[in-house]
A and B are shown apart, each in its own frame.
Chain A
């Protein structure tokens, strides 16, 4: 396991369609985070999992967004009825919850979403 893996790397969709992204964290990391990054901005926090429990959701995460981490391993982020404003890079990060690296977040390469 060499790092956080995100798929797909790019997704182009039409407005109104649903999309789903997958994140595979570093295997021993209990914590998993989703961020959204638009051009010229820093990553914005969306949601956070401790194992399979979703502990916090940002107000940025509207009802059209849902995230799951069913077995405490990989996570999915689904956007329903996509809008052009959803176009962004969606980043996933993971971190251990103990040890010296506790809470240091390691990022994947992201999924770039373009909504036409």
Chain B
């Protein structure tokens, strides 16, 4: 089955700087890669996603890149703000039954 790894596990940045979170996946048949943000006491919230037929996608300060050959995908947050502080999860969807496998998460702290 699919296995998703995520680095770093914790990340601290100054407000206004960029943050990058990297993930790898194992199943070359996976075709959908969502990113979720989870704040304390809340469920994960989808912030951006990318499908395997696209190399990059951007939404305001957030961008995601996908390298299918290397089975890598990354989240880039520019001009970070304190409200970006949360745990971020990358995920990959297995093609069987559309099951989504999550990475272990990155705790992002944006220091004002």
Contacts and interface: CB of A to CB of B under 8 A. Distances in A.
Contacts of B41: 109
A103 B32 contact: yes
A104 B89 contact: no
Contacts of A114: none
Contact of B43 (A95, A104, A108): A108
Contact of A42 (B32, B43, B98, B103): B103
* Interface residue range, chain A: 20 to 34
Interface residues of B, number: 25
A44 B99 CA distance: 10
A109 B41 CA distance: 7
A41 B43 contact: no
Nearest to B31: A103
Contacts of B6: 42
Interface in A66-116: 91, 93, 95, 103-110
Contacts of B8: none
Nearest to B107: A40
Interface string A9-40: 00000000000000000000001010000001
Interface string B46-89: 10010000000000000000000000000000000000000001
Most buried by B among A43, A55, A106: A43
A55 B101 CA distance: 16
Nearest to B41: A109
Contacts of A106: 46
Interface in B1-58: 4, 6, 32, 34, 36, 41-46, 49
Interface string B96-112: 11111111110000000
A45 B99 contact: yes
Contacts of B98: 31, 48, 95, 103
Given A109-B42, A109-B43, A48 B99 contact: yes
Interface of B: 4, 6, 32, 34, 36, 41-46, 49, 89, 91, 93, 96-105
Interface of A: 4, 6, 31, 33, 40-45, 48, 55-56, 91, 93, 95, 103-110
